[in-house]
Structure 1
């Protein structure tokens, strides 16, 4: 397939912004957890944080810095660099809208997280897909392959737009978020023959399981959720669904083992790193060796590739519809399509983005 429409992988280096920040200090837009961690990182680098800017509210103070709303900025603030310290998927965090509001208030040097993150030298740790932007150009060939593998024009447009956005070429992604339910787009929900088995890996509180019952003709389901705070919510919701559901308090991976886990973060609890506890993880191939699975959803906070490796036999045996989260890590954009292609099962592949700031991007294979 042609890769016409594939974007340039160029970007403006963050070096100039870092020089300005060291010389003038910076303001941080936002006062949530990401903004506070950004403050800590900047101070640790010897950069002065002049204050925090918020959308609304009253003037206050945080971490010995003034906090001011956009509608009542202190004199001289609009002449300073403003680094947006908001990074999530909610409508109020839409980077394009936030940047426009800041510019309308008089700021001329507004930077989004993807435009400054590599300048922090890893001091903020893993933050989903935020990473050094040269990594995209280093994998240009694999990204071209992903682009060519996508079967429809909307998918290719979304992949091109997500690259432009993450490289800082644009502040938003046109047509995202898409309408309709995440994991169950209308081009898939009519394809799976009834009745079917559904695997929900990264089941959180059972919200996706409830959506599955709404959009799919379920025969039975298996739901995996390792976070001890989330699991009781999942089990309670599963009781009311009216179809057989097996809830398992564990994660999925390429091994059967006990792994470090950072829990207590709602739907964003993650495997790996130092963690604050350990959880059991299982290979789906070993946990469901004879199950008939027609639909497999994976949203496991950056552990998708390991989960797929542990489910290869299940996928080859059943050839289920796949709904795989592709937004946690930068390399999801090329590694997930390449893995699906390597199965040589004639899967057709589409890509959709279901939230702001490139969150909730999903690869659909069928």
Structure 2
């Protein structure tokens, strides 16, 4: 049976490496956007160029692999495996991808501080979160397929149906840290129901994303209550090195960035709006940004939706830091991406 990998990018190449090590034959790559004709010695074709719709297609593109599978199936392809199905069918892919994951560290003690993770576990408020944390620890330890965390693709990230992020909010004063091109704003607008949104502060340092963010706000007709800060978030005001990747992975770096950006703290910039919902997905700067939001967390106890996966220690350092600032939170975790990407901590004010 012929077999193709959908996506000729970094993860597609990792898929090929893992399959080759397991003596699994791959006949080529399927890619709609690549301008190259080959990748690592194999042909790159477009879906319409495949003569047989029964070839096995392994989708290496994370986060939207289920969308790609649905489209491919609608076009008549019968053997499409989304990202999760691919790594479970060929577990060697897990071991190939683990070292490319942001939460990876080759020192297990750096990857897993079990004493501090135990403290975090004691703060979790539902069985699902506790079991999920235990599964994450097992997966980070042994990388067994049976411990692979299947992402909640059917849920809306930052606004899940099984964690009521709006329960304590009559109106919404929202901080979107890492606003990207407005994807979270769209989700907020779809999920807010009849609640009034009285203010939104978006932080997005990448100039390539800001124009699209402005356009998204205009389409949603929310520009009157929206303030866009062309800056990153940090513990203090500063100028820092920044790697602008023209995408969702642009990040502050210690050195070697391709530009310099201003950064500010939430306490210095939006304390006056008394935020009651703060979302952060800022590519590893979450701990520093939370330190710069200490007064807001202490004084207003906002709902928090914070990414936990960019650094190995984020899994325990972020929740324990928040607990240090405020002990009036119920905490939950959920996973929305493959290989533990898009792991989110929710902190909901106790009633």
TM superposition score category, shorter chain reference: 0.7 to 0.9
**1:141–1:117 Cα change, 3 Å:** same
Displacement of 1:330 in angstroms is 1.6
Distance in 1, matches of 2:236 and 2:185, equals 25
The residue matched to 2:344 in structure 1 has which SS? strand
Does 2:122 match 1:148?
yes
1:298 and 2:280 matched: yes
Tell me what 1:169 maps to.
Answer: 144
Uncovered stretches (5+) of structure 2, i.e. residues with no partner: 32-36, 51-57, 67-80
1:215 deviation in Å?
2.3
- Taking the aligned partners of 1:226 and 1:52, their CA distance within structure 2 comes to 43
Task: Return the alpha-carbon distance in structure 2 between the equivalents of residues 180 and 173 of structure 1.
Answer: 18
Aligned to 1:106: none
Q: Which 5+ residue runs of structure 1 have no aligned equivalent?
A: 1-27, 43-47, 72-83, 103-109, 119-123
Deviations, residues 307-348 of structure 1 (Å, cap 9, x unaligned)? 101111111121100000112122111111111111233211
Where does residue 26 of structure 2 map in the other structure? 53
Q: CA 1:300–1:100 in 2, change beyond 3 Å: closer, same or farther?
A: closer
Aligned residue for 1:181? 156
Question: Paired residue for 1:6?
Answer: none
Question: Residue by residue, what CA displacement relative to the aligned partner does 1:90-127 show, whole Å, maximum 9, x if unpaired?
Answer: 3368554224544xxxxxxx523546756xxxxx7xx5
Equivalent residues of 1:35, 1:85 under 8 A apart:
no
* Change beyond 3 A, Cα 1:31–1:304: same
Residue among 250, 257, 267 paired with 2:248: 267
1:241 matches 2:221: yes
The structure 2 residue matched to 1:285, chosen from 257, 267, 270, is 267
RMSD of aligned C-alpha atoms? 3.6
Q: Please show how residues 30-109 of structure 1 align to structure 2 within 5 Å.
A: 32-35=8-11, 53=26, 61-63=38-40, 65-66=41-42, 86=60, 88-91=62-65, 96-102=84-90
The verdict on how the C-alpha distance between 1:276 and 1:114 changes in structure 2, with shifts beyond 3 A counting, is farther
Out of 211, 223, 232, the residue aligned to residue 232 of structure 1 is 211
- Check 1:165–1:241 CA distance in 2 against 1; reply closer, same or farther (3 A cut): farther
Q: 1:35 to 1:345 in 2, by over 3 A?
A: closer
TM-score of the two chains, using structure 1 as the length reference: 0.72
Say whether residues 1:339 and 2:315 are aligned partners.
no
Per the alignment, in what secondary structure is the counterpart of residue 268 of structure 2? helix
